[in-house]
Amino acid sequence: MLPEAASELAALSREIADRIVLRLRWLASHLDVVRPAALHGSLRGFYKLRVGRWRVIYTLDRDAHIIYVHLIGARDDIYKGGR
């Protein structure tokens, strides 16, 4: 998890953060069968993971089996940054 995403996760309530971590662990254990949801526009090359109203923006290294988490935030806010 990249530093900005780690800070965003730490700022969330324990309940929400735990849900996100559990979902990321699920994703990591199912990378071989999951088809990631690709983003478009300024976020081309990134994928999103939905956790309720929260979004996790990530990239993948499938060969190394690594998920790089870049951003975590509420759906209403996460796409406004235009990263």
* Six token digits for residue 67: 């998920």
Question: 0.85 cut: is pTM over it?
Answer: yes
Q: What is the pLDDT of residue 11?
A: 96
Domain total of the chain: 1
Residue 69 placed within a domain: yes
Q: Where are the alpha helices (DSSP H) in the chain?
A: 3-11, 14-29, 75-78
Q: Which bin fits 69, alpha (ψ -120 to 50), beta or left (φ > 0)?
A: beta
**What is the DSSP-derived secondary structure letter of residue 42?**
G
- The more confident residue out of 1 and 48 is 48
Q: Look at residue 82 and tell me whether its pLDDT is greater than 60.
A: no
| Averaged pLDDT of the chain | 92
Range of the domain at 36: 3-78
Residue 83 placed within a domain: no
Element (H, E) at 74: strand 66-74
Q: What is the pLDDT of residue 62?
A: 86
- The more confident residue out of 82 and 25 is 25
Q: Look at residue 65 and tell me whether its pLDDT is greater than 80.
A: yes
Residue 48 placed within a domain: yes
